[in-house]
Amino acid sequence: MSRDARYDILFEPLKIGPVETPNRFYQVPHCNGMGLLRPRMLAEMRGVKAEGGWGVVCTEYCSIHPSSDDLPHPYGALWNAADIKAHALVTEKVHAHGALAGVELWAGGAGAPNLLTREVAMSVDSLPNRGGHPFQTRSMDKKDIQNLRRWHRDAALRAREAGFDIVYVYATHGYLFSQFLSPVNNQRTDEYGGSLENRVRLVREVIEETKEAVGDTCAVAVRMAADDGNGSMAAPSIGERREMFELLAELPDLWDINIHDYEQEMGVSRFVPEGSLEQAVSYVKSVTSKPVVSVGRFTSPDAMVSQIRRGVLDLVGAARPSIADPFLPRKIQEGRLDEIRECIGCNICYTGDSLSVPIRCTQNPTMGEEWRRGWHPEKVPARAEDASVLVIGGGPAGLEATRVLGQRGYQVLLAEARTELGGRVSQESRLPGLAEWIRVRDYRVQQIQVMPNVDVYLDSHMNAADAVAAGTQHIVIATGATWRGDGFGRYHEKPCDDLGPDSSIFTPEDVFAGRLPAGHVLLFDDDFYYLGGVIAEHLVGNGCQVTYVTTENMVCAWGVQTDEQYQAQQRLIELGVDIVTGHGLDEFDGKTASISCYYTEREREIKADALMLVTARKPEDSLYHEIVAADSAGQRVTKLGDCDAPGIIASAVYEGHRYARELGAEIGITTRQDRLFD
């Protein structure tokens, strides 16, 4: 297929200072849990994006000096020659596919804990560490500022030696340069503080010195927020920011624009729609002649074209869409829009950085496994044998296993007991804010539907005899899990006998089936992720009064890892939900719930008409055990996803993908372990 002419503008080259990007697809700097700890994994991942058509591929934040150290969160570094060697791996991979490589030089200020290097962090003033660590920065004197400028220049020179084409001055996200720009943080009385011109001085100097050092061969980009952080998503406050941009407008070769509110910039789809930054960033092009790039979790090529044609942006910035589908640009170019794996905005990718492990993605299970396992997002090995596979269960694990098995050339039978595919994805995507999650199902169904070697059977309830009688060489059980109604979970490590009557106890399974409680509902969240809060919101929307109880100290506690916890708790407060943290559920008799403080064990009672339990799930693995017990000769039986071990949707997709990709491979497959350079 050929490219739709409507999208031609996305494939026009653009000059950025002394370099030129082949198109308008720009992978902005993003964290990945690899950084300086896993250089080969990082290089292969970035290289795959370049192969997929991204015209510019940038690093994560890259430290200029040991005084900016963020471990245990892996970052890049350009401190010495060994770092040059590591980054050269990235630039070589990116250049091999005709893309430009960019590096985001980072000075952390109050955002750098320096737990590894034990260097004293420095900033515009003596500021508390922004990660909550019990120490402060040193207030920089003139010598410190001179050193900083020299460190940044030296890092830029190393970046050029490593082969980078674009070098950043990183003046946003609350790090050191943005602390100098801030009228709140910067209370200095010397030439670097006070007036707007003085607060901009350090950034100006660093831009000029970076251009002097590498500007003959490298473009210099500045990443900066367009707003002052005092407004809202609907009504951003620009304040003095416009004047700030006017002072610096023509100095860099490229402006990479974001906003102050990271929860909006990186917001989950539940709270933040595609293209949400436009109101804040749209004025920037009116004050500079230089190219402008920004993000918006763009997955629609029509939205991308609109941003460029209306003069909002020159380049379409993306982090999460490039993670969900590294081949998004190429698919648009080749007219394969129905093959795009659209980002669902769940932010599982962000957990790689927050948990200090390699990046992962719900939609793209190969993300982070390009080097370690040799996985490619678009290519799978041909089938290892002339065999057929029966997949029982069409949820995320079963669908992904079916898709990849079909792509490999196996004959696949997919049997689903319900009238629709998708499993938990179909159920959860009907809840408030989760509509985009249906993309997990839809992408896979679209791919499966055009495979002549895959047959799908809905409303097919299979028992062990049916499965064996199908006569396939392999049987996959992906029948999912169901939410428990007996209180078992983290707080009650065995079923709780003091909950009843059954008619007053509800679980997410009831919500999925459309059976909702009425009146005052006590929701006990022992799961700690998104579903408890989402169901609370759903109940309020259906007229219930809700009291949310959790043993954690906040709503959606694990949502800290996906950067949605703040918004999740904010939403429940706005809805009038009574939130009780640090308490466990002990008893419920249909009228009164007894809860106790997790710390003091003091008890209290709450009147309630119904109890909603979001605690733990029970794997639906009985069919697996029945088939194994039947001991049918020659048939290999495997269970996958929640049926094997309940987890997040990303885990189910990954397990389905891994099974299908590795079927028929030799036993003893090992993953390669990345090592640092000496």
Tokens of 48: 């795959």
Contact, 171 vs 203, CB < 8 A? yes
Show the CA angle centred on residue 227, arms to residues 225 and 233, nearest 5°. 110
Which residues partner with 454 through β-bridges? 412
Q: Is the dihedral of CA 525, 529, 533, 535 positive or negative?
A: negative
What's the burial of 674, exposed, middle or buried (CB within 10 Å: 0-12/13-18/19+)? middle
> Helix axis angle, 439-449 relative to 396-408, nearest 10°?
30
Quick one: the chain helix, strand, coil %, rounded to 5?
A: 35, 20, 45
Contact, 112 vs 97, CB < 8 A? no
548 carries an active-site annotation: no
Separation of CA 544 from chain center:
32
Of the listed 7, 75, 175, 350, which one is catalytic?
A: 175
> How far apart are the C-alpha atoms of 351 and 336, rounded to whole Å?
30
> How far apart are the C-alpha atoms of 374 and 664, rounded to whole Å?
16
Tokens of 271: 């709270």
List CB contacts of 386: < 8 A, sequence separation 6 or more. Answer: none
Tokens of 284: 């920037």
> Helix axis angle, 565-574 relative to 530-541, nearest 10°?
20
Which of the residues are catalytic? 175
